[in-house]
Structure formats: structure tokens, C-alpha cells
Amino acid sequence: MTPHLEAEDLTRTFTVRRKLSRFRSERHEVTAVDSVSFAVERGEAVGYVGPNGAGKSTTIKMLTGILTPTGGRVRTCGLDPSRRRVELAARIGVVFGQRSQLWWDLPLTDSFALLRDIYRVPAAEHASRLAECVELLGLGDFLGTPVRQLSLGQRMRGEVTAALLHAPELLVLDEPTIGLDLESKERLREFLAELNATRGVTLLLTTHDLDDIERLCRRLLVIDHGRVLADGPLSRLRTEAVGERTLVVDLEQPAEPLTGLPGVTGCRVENEGRRHHLTFRRDRITAAALIAAVAERAAVHDISVVEPSIDDVIRRLYAGEVVHPAEEIGVNPGTDAG
């Protein structure tokens, strides 16, 4: 089956003017997206992450037909997005956290009715999908409120509903939780996770919120300076991009820092010498062997192994501090960010 999203050496440059003085300016090229290649299969939930200016929104705009590539090839649901925009619109849903697709002066219900007519959704289907979104996203209290009077969180719930009323197979979200409070974020994440799990709707989302990724994405595409730095399941990037784990040991008796243990690269002690955080290289020693080595040195009360946080993983990938060979973790070998 054709992947839902395909990019092959996808490139987009912009010509920008830089002012040199009051009367002089020069033109130069910015490569926002630089030979990006990936494929997203049906039913996947992929996080597209990268620092500010990395090229995420530009990629999304090309995938959804808003921008035309200057190089390479892009296909969304098997279609050339910029040439088949109308056809594509009927098959995908798009949510831009910073831009609205709702009619500002109309109540939400009127926007939804207009979208029903635009996408020619049968009335009964529309009504049942809307009822479901109203319930799951809690829109009931403000369906009759003009969009301009809604809070950001309320509007975003409206935006997601608007993107789903025509039952798209693929949902592309650009920073869907930006600016939302914790409860609204959580509600939206739960809804999206459910949509992916039970309906098989493919999700591609850009975000700076690592909790979004943790909750929603099984796969991460990391981009910087327009190039893909890493592409793989979050679990694999977590265990392999960061070569270290931490063993947290609670001792029966206070002790000096447990130095000189094999594979251990750092030791932090707290709780008056009772708790030791031992950072160790996963390629040098297993957790079991380290626990045994610790037990020989001191009486152990409790023990746990802490994996690197997603924050650590992303930070290391941005910094190009990848420990393992590129091919092992799907890190793009040509893009060592050093």
C-alpha cells in the first residue's frame, strides 16, 4: 500500500533580501528544507521535531500543498499536494496551532455547518461525528459562541473538530497544543491518541512540547537546519542515541561516593550519602552486572534504573552527540550536526 506521506530529497529554498545599508540590499537564498526523505505509513503517529527555524512548518506546508517544493518529490495520500489540493483537502485534516480555519465572527456551529457543505459530508454522518467531538472534546458549553470570543484552548478544540468532520485518513498538526493550559493539552492528547489507536487515523505533528511526543508519537523524525538528523521509534532513539543510563542506589548505611565501578562515568550522592546516582555506559556494563558490583561494595536497600528523558535524547540529537554508528539508530549519516 502507498505510504500516507512520502518525501524524497524534498527541498525548499526562499530568496530573501538582506538590507546592507539604507540604500543597498542583497538577495540571498535560505534553504529551509534540504533534501529531506522519509515515508509515513498508514496508521503511524509521527512526531516531527526540531529547534526553531529547523524547517518543520515549511515541510508541513509542502506536504499539505500550501507551498510548492523547489526540489525533490512529495506525495500525500499518493497525490502531488500542490497540484491536487482540492482532492487532497477531502482526504486530510490540517490543524495549524497559530492559524485558524474557522470563521472568526461566526459561532462554532455555523463554521461546522459551512465545512459540512464545503466537503459535502452527508448530514447524518456530519451530525454523528460532530456529536462525538462535542462529547469527547467538551465543546458543549461554547458551540454557540463566536470564534473570536473563544479562549485559545476552546478554539483549538474547535479547530481539531473542524479538521475531522470530513473523516480524514490523515491528520497533520502544526503545534496543536501551543499555548494551551495543562488540562486542555491533556484532553487534546487523549483525544488524538484515541483517534490514532481506534480509528487508525495517521498523525504527523510538529511540536516543541516533549510531553506531546511522549503521549502521542511512537516514531520521531528529528530535523535541524533543514535536514533529517534522526528517524526512528522513540524507544530506540532513547536507548541508543543516549549511551548512558542511571542506576539509583539507596544504601543501608551512608557511604562515600561509589567510585571506580566498571562502566560508571559519574556519581552524584544525596540524602547524606545514602542515595547514589551512578551514570553508566550501556555498552560497557549491564545494569545487572553493575548492581552486583555495587552489592559487593555496600549493603543495598533499594535500587532502580532510570532511562534518559526524552529531553536528553532530543538535546543530544540536536547537538550531534550520537554515541552509536548512524545506521544502527537510523541517524542520517550525512547530517552529523557537528
Ligand X SMILES: Nc1ncnc2c1ncn2[C@@H]1O[C@H](COP(=O)(O)OP(=O)(O)OP(=O)(O)O)[C@@H](O)[C@H]1O
Interface ranges with ligand X (CB under 6 A): 14, 16, 30, 32, 50, 52-58
| Between 225 and 284, CB nearer to ligand X | 225
- Give least dist CB 54 to ligand X, A: 4
| Between 11 and 57, CB nearer to ligand X | 57
Do the beta carbons of residue 41 and residue 35 sit within 8 Å? no
Nearest to 207, CA basis, from 217, 194, 218: 217
| Between 29 and 105, CB nearer to ligand X | 29
The amino acid at residue 163 is A
Tell me the β-bridge partners of 75.
6
- Give least dist CB 15 to ligand X, A: 8
DSSP H helices in 99-203: 108-118, 123-137, 152-164, 182-199
What is the Cα–Cα distance from 230 to 215, expressed in whole angstroms? 19
What is the Cα–Cα distance from 112 to 143, expressed in whole angstroms? 10
Element (H, E) at 312: helix 310-319
**Cell triple for 43:** 496508521
What is the Cα–Cα distance from 246 to 242, expressed in whole angstroms? 11
For residue 140, which phi and psi values (nearest 5 degrees)? -50, -40
- Give least dist CB 217 to ligand X, A: 16
- Give least dist CB 223 to ligand X, A: 7
| Between 126 and 227, CB nearer to ligand X | 227
- Give least dist CB 252 to ligand X, A: 49
- Give least dist CB 332 to ligand X, A: 17
| Between 116 and 185, CB nearer to ligand X | 185
| Between 62 and 203, CB nearer to ligand X | 62
